[in-house]
Chains A and B, each alone.
Chain A
Amino acid sequence: MTAVADDSATELTSDETVRSGLQLGNRLRGIVLSLLLLGLVGASANIGQLGRLGRITFWIVVVVATSAVVFVSLNLMVSLARRSWTAYRSLTGALLGGIGFGLLRGNRSVGALVADSEFQLILDDGEAIVVEDRALVDAIAKIADPTLIEYATGVIGLVEWPILGAVLGAFAGMATGFADRRVRLAIPTLIGLGGGWIVGGNLLFRNRPDASLTTVAVMTVIGAAVVGGASYLAGKRCVLVERCLLGAALGATAGGWLLPDLSGGSATTSQLVCMIPLGLVGLRFGWPSARDANGMASFDRRARAVIFLAPALTFLTVNLVVPAIRTIITSFQDRDSEEFVGFDNYRELAGSERFLDWRSWSGDDGTWNVLTSRLTWGGLFLIVVGFAIAASINWTRNRTRGLDHSPTSRGSILVGGVLIAFAFFSVIRGTLPNTIWWMFTVTIGATTLGLAMAVLSQKAGRWESIAKSLVFMPMAISMVGASVIWRLQYAPKNTSQKQTGVLNAVWVELGDLSHAGVEGSDYPGWIRWAVLIALGTILARIGFTIWARWQRDEGFAAAGVMAVIVGWLFIEILLRDLGGFQINDDGSIQAEAVAFRELVQPFNNVYLMFILIWIQTGFAMVILSAAIKAVPEELHEAARIDGATESEQFFNVTLPQILPTVGVVLTTILVAVAKVFDIVRVSTGGNFGTNVLAHDFITESFQFLNRGVGSAMAVVILLIVAPVLIFNVFNMQKAES
């Protein structure tokens, strides 16, 4: 995909990695053993759990071993084909015959010896009744005295059906090994006809097709013509006859089974209808001549491709593609998926305030709330400042009008943009804007913080790996666990109690500090002044740094950010406005905690988003850190010789080099966030205006039991993610060629 993937691939193939792979094997064994031991120790307290562990292990082993045996034997079968074509064909025939006849029996199309056979009773007045229960037959026989009882039971039983199929198939396969072409064609055809005769004769009454032979004949010809014609047009002339035979068999099946009504046909018809397709299949089976070495190789390739791919493609189709298509179909159906309703579900979704809520868009007096929001003006201010800085840099450097962006200007424009976006998200509510807000915030937040960690940790020397491990650790914690962890951090307690959550404890303490000396605060008044003086000193120092760097024409982004933070603290403490407090009537203050998850709507969403940022930052950091390390040292060297500062090196050398990786990180996180469910579920249950599409979809489908609208929500998620999908596939094709 990118430089990262290529790099890791080459790294993976080195000898060192193979050795480390072996080491890993040992370590894995250690872990598995200790886990088992742990389980045993834990389980020893309770024998019942031990038994359950044993049962589960047994079933896992059985399933895995069976699948392995099937896979290996199929491969051995194909290997056998090289040595003995006849043996291979017999085995294939036996397998196909056995499975085919077994399926017929399993679907209860053909009769069996005792248990669920059928009886047809022809009563005196000529009416025919089909009964499945022998006791019932006897009861009816006593009352109605039927003239004829016909048994649809064969002499062939449950187990005998597949065996019979296997034997017939094996003989047919063996016959295809004969050198004489007439024998090769005749025997499988005869076996096919015979098999059809047996199956047709044993069909249960309810499955006897009321077919007309003309239809069967016409459909046979049509099938042969269609499949053969397609094969001819595709340029496969060497297998034309085989394709025609296959098409004929398919056509005969359709004409005999799909078009006419089932049940009501005579025994002879059903026998004929079985014999025609099976005979054609037999003929097709015997048609090809023995293969030369070249044909053998291509057969081997194709057979292996099928065996190796079939399990994966089956899972992909059954578990992913078909369900996705079904969801798209149900999104156009009513709540019980019975009638098609067109776009009604989407219309209902778009019209509901749960999905998209414009009520906060304008205030009572008709003003736009976006324009009265402090976020908008703060954001606009930052953007203006950013452009002003860029223009002034350009002016000092080149004495021309225009823009010359520095990290400071870019940073403030970016932050300003984020603030304005937040302003919009805070007035347009509903699950759709919330989902997009999540995607926006978490993607930008995690990527920026991850990039910062990746860059900063490089200079941490021997502490680098520890620092990175600690930031990376949340990746191993489940979103449910993370939500529980952050519930502890966000926990609010009412005014009379001590705060148990870190954030509220700090916030309430800050409120106390900024009101030091006021009735109700724990701090004496001088502390506030001491803090103000300290902050003022720091502010002055930062101001001096900025001025000095400005004079030397150097960047001052970090110092600028520091100045903003410290300046904000200074002003807030000066104005006695910082922290969680409330002012009583008598002027004394009282602690007031923030109910982060519940009451601070709509910004409680941001606090939930931070949980995911906490998880995803480590991911972004690891990927970006690897990309940064892959940037060739010579580039930095050259930049250093040209006199670039470290931040210039980062923005002009490193960042352009790792840009594709940043793209990968962004898209990966974007797709992950679109599906966020666990955090919302555990933290708020979707209440307090924090619902997102992926969570609401569950509520709609399982609580409101509206499958139509629920599916429509899933499709909306798919549509949000689809651009990323197209982007990924596009990138991939570029990388492949």
Chain B
Amino acid sequence: MRNGNSVIDRAYRKLSNVPMWAMWGIVVIWTIPSLSLFVNSFRSRTRQRQTGFWEALWDNDRNFEAGCPEEYLRDDLFHVLENYCVVLSNDQASGMLTSVISSLAIAVPSTIIPIAIACFAAYAFAWIDFKGRKPLFIATVALLSIPLQVALIPLLRMYLGGAHFTVPFTERTLTLIPDFDLAGGPWAVVLTHTGFAMPFAIFLLHNYMSSLPDELIESARVDGADHFSTFMRLVLPLSVPAIAAFAIFQFLWTWNDYLIAVIMLNSGTPEVFPTTQRIANLAGDFGRTEHLLTAGAFVQAFVPLVVFFSLQRYFVRGLLAGSVKG
């Protein structure tokens, strides 16, 4: 092998560094798909249908064909953004704005509620000494691996008609949960997400809370603080990093979910469909709106990408702390 320091030798070493090339190869292959979506979302219907995204480099066009209302077409910028202008309008056929709000209405409560509930439970498992703590905790975490599919249909039936229990050997039926008519609305999705998030959230937060130093909690107890104030004043503020990690994880998960939405909202009006369902419906409907799919998919991915890139460190931390989520 050459070990010299001349320009040619250095260039040779760079070029013959096969592992490095392999890595950049993977990176390029992994980036091209997202890039093509991004580029195509600015191109007109005709261009998207006729040429590949790479031709945008030399085959630039002004986007005149999407059908954006005249008043938006004030300057050149809006011509390029015409797909987005249609997608973000309130157009029933292709507008995404409604579904962006629906997605927020699902993702925000589905992030906040599980965090609160799981924090309580994680604290109890970590610091309150009660009988049966360990088996209960292991049972909770074991539920991590239950596939959603197993629980979905009975859940939907519960949201459709409440929960009833027929007492064995009698004809008597007790109403345990009345029919709140939740199916077809965002709260059905939120409650489902809350239930499914529970094992992972408890596992993650418990891992963190139980790693807090014993002396800290003990000294608070000696000072006369009960569990409630220890939790509120000490453990909760100290757990912010773990909570943030889970919050990001859960927000991405709920924003990107399609399965639960499609099952729980099937009976609802299109107004309540989240972005994923909207995109999936657009994708299933070839023809007039196909060119808007790219802009729509980018709008769908925009919020998680912002969250992801600005809070990547915490997201990674959440993954590391609890990489058993199914």
Contacts and interface: CB of A to CB of B under 8 A. Distances in A.
Contacts of A60: 105, 108-109, 112
Given A46-B97, A470-B30, A5 B124 contact: no
Residue from A10, A311, A312, A618 with most neighbouring chain B CB atoms (10 Å): A312
A668 interface: yes
Given A18-B238, A479-B258, A500-B52, A42 B88 contact: yes
B324 A668 contact: yes
Interface string A1-44: 10011011111110001101110110110010001000100110
B29 to A, nearest CB: 9
Contacts of A313: 121
Nearest to A328: B150
B211 to A, nearest CB: 4
Contacts of B113: 63-64, 67
Given A49-B90, A309-B120, A721 B147 contact: yes
B287 interface: no
A48 B89 CA distance: 12
Given A18-B238, A60-B109, A721-B145, A323 B152 contact: yes
B320 A626 contact: yes
Contact of B141 (A21, A619, A697, A729): A729
A134 interface: no
A533 interface: no
B158 A323 contact: yes
B195 A320 contact: yes
A736 B203 CA distance: 12
B121 A319 contact: no
Given A500-B52, A505-B52, A623-B320, A682 B280 contact: yes
A685 B319 contact: no
Given A64-B116, A323-B150, A728-B324, A681 B280 contact: yes
A502 B52 contact: yes
B258 A678 contact: yes
Given A320-B196, A502-B52, A312 B121 contact: yes
Interface string B87-125: 011100000011011001100110011001110110111
B234 interface: no
B81 interface: no
A319 B153 contact: no
Contact of B118 (A25, A312, A328, A702): A312
Contacts of B180: none
Interface string B291-322: 00110010011011111111111101101111
A324 B152 CA distance: 8
A321 B143 contact: yes
Contacts of A63: 109, 113
Interface string A482-511: 111111110000000111111001000000
Interface stretch (A269-277, A381-389, A455-463): A455-463
Residue from B50, B199, B226 with most neighbouring chain A CB atoms (10 Å): B226
B11 interface: no
B53 A12 contact: no
A86 to B, nearest CB: 19
Residue from B24, B244, B259 with most neighbouring chain A CB atoms (10 Å): B259
A707 B153 contact: yes
B207 interface: yes
A477 B24 contact: no
A584 B219 CA distance: 86
Contacts of B280: 480, 678, 681-682
Contacts of A456: 19-20, 22-23, 26
Contacts of A95: none
Contacts of A7: 320
Interface in A99-124: 107
A710 interface: yes
Given A470-B31, A478-B304, A500-B49, A9 B321 contact: yes
Given A323-B155, A728-B144, A729-B138, A56 B105 contact: yes
A476 B252 contact: yes
B317 A665 contact: no
Given A304-B128, A502-B52, A20 B300 contact: no
Contacts of B97: 42-43, 45-46, 49
Contacts of B316: 622, 626
Interface in B259-312: 259, 262-263, 266, 276, 279-280, 283-284, 293-294, 297, 300-301, 303-312
B134 interface: yes
B143 A5 contact: no
A289 interface: no
B145 A671 contact: yes
Given A75-B228, A476-B304, A500-B51, A675 B149 contact: yes
A717 B326 CA distance: 13
A9 B208 contact: yes
Contacts of A308: 120-121, 123-124, 128, 227, 231
Q: Rank and list the top 3 A-B pairs by shortest CB-CB distance, nearest first.
A: A319-B195, A478-B256, A671-B326
Given A13-B208, A315-B194, A729-B138, 18 more contacts: A27-B310, A35-B303, A43-B97, A49-B101, A53-B101, A301-B129, A320-B146, A322-B154, A453-B26, A456-B23, A476-B256, A499-B52, A500-B50, A665-B323, A672-B326, A677-B258, A698-B262, A729-B142
16 contacts: A45-B97, A49-B97, A53-B101, A60-B108, A300-B227, A309-B125, A312-B118, A327-B151, A469-B312, A470-B30, A476-B304, A478-B304, A558-B18, A617-B30, A677-B149, A729-B138
